[in-house]
Amino acid sequence: MMKILLILDPLDSLKIHKDSSIAIMREAAARGHPLFVCEPHDVLMQQGKVTAKATAFTFANGANWYALDDPAESNLADFDVVLNRKDPPFDSEYLYLTYLLEQAANQGARVLNAPAAVRGWNEKLSVAKFPQFAPPFLVTSRYAEILDFLAVHHDIVVKPLDGMGGNGVFHLTEDSPNKSAILETVTHHEKRTIMAQRYLPEIKTGDKRILVIDGEPLPYALARIPKAGELRGNLAAGGTGVAQPLSVRDWEIAKAVGSTLKAQGLFLVGLDVIGDHLTEINVTSPTCMVEIAAQTDCNPAARFVDALEGIGD
């Protein structure tokens, strides 16, 4: 039996029918593992000691789908595992949380994903660690460099480095009539660094999410297919999720990246692959477990809890 603490966004903000954190919690509860929850602001440090005001959590029936006990302050090392499932954006508050959790890990807590790795693996920039799989890309805040990149590749996407769910992603071609306005918006008038990537037309058949658990990829990806007239396949942007077996190229990418992720303490990661290219490495709170489970014989939440129990042996 493992005592599990999950650091989450507010419970009432979670979509109970599709949230991967809830799927993990249901699987763990079904196996008898005690669950505790808190929000990031419940984690604190006094005189170097990291604690959390954590609340025992149980599932309930009806509109009030959960029940909570009174919060109690506990050392993070008193839990068998601490799962940080806070969603982006990776802002200053998220950064501070990783520092607190890293200190907790130094005091004996098992924190997943490893806080220093979460801090060091920006979800957009980390594709640079695997240039053999990444599409051509540019990181800058300057209009001139972006326009030069566009002139070379003719068709690009631009996106912020700290977003999620497709927020702030724009498609640019040389014929786009509003290039200047888009660049002003996405770079905050050259004050925010962004990523530009060569547009991959394979997005029309899906932005594939590949889940990697403890270094091992699941055999199915969720291809998130954009709705008509939309660039982004993200489910949060209205995309449709279709589960499909990993291709030979998907396996090649996931196996190569997975071994590095495991060595870094990145226990659960979502790789985004468009066509044959790795476009993002999601290390904060990867999703798509529920959709894959509903369409295949693979239960990602069960695989995740199996792996958790394995590291607890």
Catalytic, 129? Answer no
Tally Cβ neighbours within 10 Å of residue 140.
16
> Annotated catalytic residue: which of 232, 234, 291, 303?
232
303 labelled catalytic:
no
Catalytic choice (159, 179, 198, 208): 159
* Residue 89 CB contacts under 8 Å (≥ 6 apart), including other chains: 162, 163, 164
Q: Which of 122, 234, 282, 299 is catalytic?
A: 282
Two tokens, residue 68: 């909570």
Q: Distance between CA atoms of 300 and 137, rounded to whole angstroms?
A: 31
309 is catalytic: no
191 is catalytic: no
User: Which are the contacts of 26, defined by CB distance < 8 A and separation ≥ 6?
Assistant: 59, 301
d(CA 66, CA 63): 9
Any catalytic annotation for residue 209? yes
Annotation marks residue 159 as catalytic: yes
* Residue whose C-alpha is closest to residue 136's, from 188, 220, 54, 198: 198
User: Is 31 tagged catalytic?
Assistant: no
142 noted as active-site residue: no
Cα–Cα distance measured from residue 229 to residue 240, given in angstroms and rounded to the nearest whole number: 13
Considering 86, 124, 198, 303, which one is annotated as catalytic? 124
Q: Which residue is listed with tokens 């326009």?
A: 147
From 110, 179, 208, 224, active-site residue: 224
Tell me which of 280, 291, 299, 303 is the catalytic residue.
280
Indicate the SS3 state at residue 183: helix
Q: Which residues are known to be catalytic?
A: 124, 159, 209, 224, 232, 272, 280, 282
